[in-house]
Chains A and B, each alone.
Chain A
């Protein structure tokens, strides 16, 4: 999993930014970390926009990565609960698909 870590402060994100939005001086450096993390929260989406309607109901979870301060929004394969340990299964159309370990 690629994360972007500020070279001046603690800030980290899975999405790159022009400059660090936290300290506003640091540059974000690309880092490779384990995709493993725990479910911080989630929702089961029953009503989906047209482009995802064929998947509904599906689960979107916010994963707190183990090796970074960054969190990642992922779709999960099956239901999850807060605290569940999960890892990246595959990437599909730019979406991270996680599954419970």
Chain B
């Protein structure tokens, strides 16, 4: 129990915004979250961001927010944890409140990626790997890591590329109902299966897109309707060749275990889930690591439709990273945006009577993972 509550949420549409600066996106989402919370006094700001410096030449993001919004001379910081930057920013805010230092904290996440070329973005994302290694020199990429995992998963189970396609299709179908999602064009199994290969066996639809966007939250110690029941974070191997079990993401497993323990609930109690599906294969492993399904059996649950919005364990009702979009630093915060809506009863693909919700945010090739469990009071 953290006794920290989410009071306000905000999010820009995800997509391509050539005419908007990173600062603009960040400020828009923040204003929306502050207004949703009734414009409280804010004691600190944490911003999740990954490549603002490398491809946008823009740092000092958290000071920009405080300044643009007239929040005063309060402490602020940018938090970097690759694709888990948003989840870790949220966790830093929670810890700040738990410590007694702050009453109310503004959390935001942002990324602006669409202006850069695919090669440059791939290069920048590779900063989330251990680059002082023979592994990097071999030419392994970030998507490549999950391609290697997928081929091994197919080898050890009866899963095929079609099961990954089912995940991609499910998340696209969910995104069709989410007005803020990047992809709102329907697709088919056929189109997904025949799309060009990025890194075998993963095709275009198995990989999250590059995205511009921002999301924000106001968290506070003042009791409200949405309680952050637990917050947990773990690290994992930073190189593929050092994985003890290639088909395990220890950071996901451990952060999940800690979050359940702190919340006093188990995977069976969770009503709705946002998972870090940077690749279709990542969702497959995460639903197993978080204990929703047995190891090496996630594909069966996918085949049976159990993770659809209408299934018994709805995963990524927002459309996930694959179809809602993945502005890296904003993703962990955007997951919260969707789950708070689910608990308020106002979400796209609303799950009936949702009371407990779980978000898992991954950084690097399994280097970081955060898990937050929310509860409707």
For A15, give the chain B residue with the smallest CB separation: B133
Task: Provide the residues of chain A in CB contact with B246, threshold 8 Å.
Answer: 40-41, 62
Given contacts A41-B149, A41-B151, A48-B141, contact A71 B241 (CB under 8 A): yes
Query: Which residue of A22, A52, A71, A72 is within 8 Å of B139 (Cβ)?
Result: A52
Could you tell me if B144 and A50 are in contact, using CB atoms closer than 8 angstroms? Answer: no
Q: Does A34 belong to the interface (CB within 8 Å)?
A: no
Contact of A93 among B137, B197, B239 (CB under 8 A): B137
Instruction: Confirm or deny: B152 has a beta carbon within 8 angstroms of a beta carbon on chain A.
Output: yes
Known: A62-B148, A73-B134, A73-B241. A49 touches B140 (CB 8 A): no
Task: Determine the chain B residues whose CB is within 8 A of the CB of A33 once the complex forms.
Answer: none
Q: How far is the CB of B240 from chain A (nearest CB, A)?
A: 6
Instruction: Point out the residue from B118, B135, B152, B202 that lies within 8 Å of A40, measured CB to CB.
Output: B152
Interface-side segment among B23-31, B119-127, B288-296: B119-127
Chain B interface, number of residues (Cβ within 8 angstroms): 37
In whole Å, how far is A39's beta carbon from the nearest beta carbon of chain B?
A: 10
- Chain A nearest CB from B107 CB (Å) reads 31
Chain A residues positioned under 8 Å from B147 (CB to CB): 43-45
Question: If the complex has contacts A15-B239, A82-B152, are A49 and B138 also in contact, measured as CB distance less than 8 A?
Answer: no
In whole angstroms, how far apart are the Cα atoms of A48 and B200 in the complex? Answer: 12
The yes or no answer to A85 lying at the interface (CB within 8 A) is no
> Which single member of A50, A60, A70 contacts B140 (CB below 8 Å)?
A60
Contact A47 B126, beta carbon cutoff 8 Å: no
Residues of chain B within 8 A of A50, CB atoms compared:
119-120, 122-123
A45 to B135, CA, bound (A): 14
* B-contact bits for A31-69, CB 8 A (1 contact / 0 none): 000000000111111111111110100101110000000
Q: If the complex has contacts A41-B152, A46-B196, A60-B148, are A96 and B123 also in contact, measured as CB distance less than 8 A?
A: no
Contact of A47 among B118, B135, B138, B240 (CB under 8 A): B118
Output the nearest chain A residue to B200 by Cβ-Cβ distance: A44
**Known contacts A15-B239, A60-B144, A70-B241; is-contact A95 B139 (Cβ 8 Å):** yes
Q: Which of B184-228 contact A (CB under 8 A)?
A: 196-202
A14–B149 alpha-carbon span in the complex (Å): 19
A86 CB-CB contact with B under 8 Å: no
Which of chain B's residues has its CB closest to A51's CB?
B123
Asked if B151 and A43 sit within 8 Å, CB to CB, the answer is yes
Q: Are A96 and B119 in contact (CB under 8 A)?
A: no
Contacts of A72 in B (CB 8 A): 134, 241
Is B137 a contact of A62 with CB atoms below 8 Å?
no
Nearest-CB residue, chain A, relative to B152: A41
Q: A50-B122, A96-B134 are in contact. Are A15 and B155 (CB under 8 A)?
A: no
Those of B317-350 within 8 Å (CB) of chain A: none
Contacts of A53 in B (CB 8 A): 119
**CB of A13 within 8 Å of the partner chain:** yes
Q: Are B199 and A45 in contact (CB under 8 A)?
A: yes
Q: Does A6 contact B (CB under 8 A)?
A: no
Interface check A75, CB cutoff 8 A: yes
Beta-carbon contact of B139 and A55 below 8 Å: yes
B242: Cβ under 8 A from any A Cβ: yes
Compute how far the CA of A75 lies from the CA of B243 in the bound complex, rounded to whole angstroms. 18
Q: Does B8 contact A (CB under 8 A)?
A: no
List of B residues within 8 angstroms of A49 by Cβ: 119, 122-123, 126, 141
Contacts of B93 in A (CB 8 A): none
Nearest-neighbour CB distance to chain B for A94, whole angstroms, equals 4
Among A14, A46, A72, A74: residue with most chain B CB under 10 A: A46
Known: A13-B241, A43-B144, A62-B246. 18 other contacts (CB 8 A): A41-B149, A43-B200, A43-B202, A44-B147, A45-B143, A46-B197, A46-B198, A47-B118, A47-B122, A48-B119, A48-B139, A53-B119, A71-B243, A73-B140, A73-B239, A75-B138, A95-B139, A96-B138
Enumerate 7 A-B pairs (CB-CB under 8 Å) in ascending A order. Answer: A21-B242, A41-B151, A41-B155, A60-B148, A73-B138, A73-B140, A82-B151
Measuring CB to CB, which residues of chain B are less than 8 angstroms from any residue of chain A?
118-120, 122-123, 126, 133-135, 137-141, 143-144, 147-152, 155, 196-202, 239-244, 246
10 nearest A-B pairs in the assembled complex, by CB-CB distance:
A43-B147, A41-B152, A94-B137, A95-B137, A73-B135, A49-B123, A50-B119, A44-B200, A49-B122, A52-B139
